[in-house]
Amino acid sequence: MDSIRIQGGIALQGKVRVQGSKNASLPVLAATLLVGECSFIRNCPRIADVHAMVSLLKSLGCSVCWNKTGITVDSAQVRRGEMPKEAVKGMRSSLCLLGALIGRCSEVVMEHPGGCVIGERPIDLHLSALGQMGVEFEEKEGRLKAVSARLHGACICLPFPSVGATENVLLAGVMAEGDTVLEGAAREPEILTLCRFLQQCGAWIEGAGSSRLVIHGGRRLYGTDFTVPADRIVAGTYLFGCIGAGGSILLEQAPREEMETVLCAAEQMGGRVCVSKEGIYVQAPGRPLPIELATAPHPGFPTDLQSVVLAVEAKGEGCSRIQENIFENRFRVAQELQKMGARIERSGPRTVSVHGVESLCGRPVEARELRGGAALVVAGLMAEGETLVGGCQYIYRGYENIGRDFRELGARVASV
């Protein structure tokens, strides 16, 4: 199931349930390490990154068990913080295990984590923040060793609201001695979810959801039963998919309160959006209208949905300008879209102009990273004829079954 075949040109109709959030469930699963007893995490998506996180937790000594509704993690037996090389490779989110393991074991050895090939992804902010909390780092033969004789609170100011660094400070901070004040914290909804999980376990955190977090460390944490919210990026992918392919759909349980900027962009692109108790209704009356878009930390437009908008605007009714301010390599998908007839050109170091064309042509294309891959599937829905998207293992890192979901919306999509 490495490729997805799409017969394009069919408007989407119907409803689809939005899976649980990848970017929320991974740090919550990492946080179960701090508890030292059983946690039950509901609504985790069945995606490759969650399976990889489960393997990592097992390799650290956790007993982990999936059932229909969620994952039970018992972290009572965790003793050492050494992560196996292969388990870390390619999974950027393994980085949040750093803060959790430092909190739990005082010593961690890990590979430099990878992730999507969308930019350099340095970890200096993580190291500097944890360093201020008493963690010492040493790099040996490509492996990172972190030791903390006494993890303590600190006043930390992040120069950029890094999501990963904020998660690591939270995870280490709840176990540290004394208070940690984090200024310039990321405000992504996934940070709020992690705070809620930790609070439910007994942690004392003030300012959840704001850019100033106060973490009162050292409280005993208890196992809990927690539900991960729906995935705002998956919901956004299907929403823009509808704007590109046309039609009218309902995104059941979509986390509307996390998607304000996305819904605003969808309306600018001509989508009619209606938010209700059931979820988000979207209707796309015609070709997408052009847009000026710039990605930014939350509450700005999410970098994870930029590629999908790029694909949709390839068939827009005019010229769009898209600026990527978070990850420098997120325009790589443009090359594949060009094979399908898209007219995209660089107009600055971080900006592309997209000259909408009347129709895209189905072609064999190759996914090279997660969100770019999803954007190619969306382009396939919009194109005339057949598109074959290869490299789908990247897409399965974040989407449970993008083919099934679009099929439920009436599209002709098959995994091959």
Q: Which are the catalytic amino acids?
A: 116
Whichever of 213 and 326 has its CB closer to ligand UD1, that residue is 326
Q: List binders of ligand UD1 among 319-338 (CB under 6 A).
A: 326-327
Whichever of 28 and 360 has its CB closer to ligand UD1, that residue is 28
Burial of 269 (0-12, 13-18, 19+ CB in 10 A): buried
Whichever of 231 and 408 has its CB closer to ligand UD1, that residue is 231
Give 211's contacts (C-beta < 8 A, 6+ positions apart).
161, 183, 184, 185, 186, 187
Whichever of 32 and 306 has its CB closer to ligand UD1, that residue is 306
One of 61, 84, 119, 184 touching ligand UD1 (CB under 6 A): 119
Alpha-carbon distance values, 169 to 96, 157, 297 (Å): 9, 11, 18
- Interaction between residue 86 and ligand UD1 (CB under 6 A): no
- Interaction between residue 92 and ligand UD1 (CB under 6 A): yes
Whichever of 323 and 415 has its CB closer to ligand UD1, that residue is 323
One of 8, 302, 316, 362 touching ligand UD1 (CB under 6 A): 302
Whichever of 125 and 201 has its CB closer to ligand UD1, that residue is 125
Whichever of 51 and 121 has its CB closer to ligand UD1, that residue is 121
One of 41, 165, 203, 228 touching ligand UD1 (CB under 6 A): 165
One of 10, 163, 333, 375 touching ligand UD1 (CB under 6 A): 163
- Interaction between residue 187 and ligand UD1 (CB under 6 A): no
- Interaction between residue 209 and ligand UD1 (CB under 6 A): no
Q: Give Cα 327 distance to the centre of its chain.
A: 13
One of 303, 306, 307, 320 touching ligand UD1 (CB under 6 A): 303
**Minimum Å distance from CB 370 to ligand UD1?**
8
Rounded CA separation 380/288 (Å): 16
One of 42, 89, 112, 121 touching ligand UD1 (CB under 6 A): 121
Rounded CA separation 149/348 (Å): 47
* The one segment of 68-76, 116-124, 309-317, 388-396 that binds ligand UD1 by CB under 6 A: 116-124
* The one segment of 12-20, 46-54, 113-121, 142-150 that binds ligand UD1 by CB under 6 A: 113-121
* The one segment of 10-18, 158-166, 316-324, 379-387 that binds ligand UD1 by CB under 6 A: 158-166
How many residues of this chain bind ligand UD1 (CB under 6 A)?
Answer: 22
One of 123, 144, 367, 389 touching ligand UD1 (CB under 6 A): 123
One of 19, 21, 23, 39 touching ligand UD1 (CB under 6 A): 23
One of 39, 148, 162, 320 touching ligand UD1 (CB under 6 A): 162
- Interaction between residue 297 and ligand UD1 (CB under 6 A): yes
Residues that bind ligand UD1 (CB under 6 A): 23, 92, 119-126, 160, 162-165, 188, 297, 302-304, 326-327
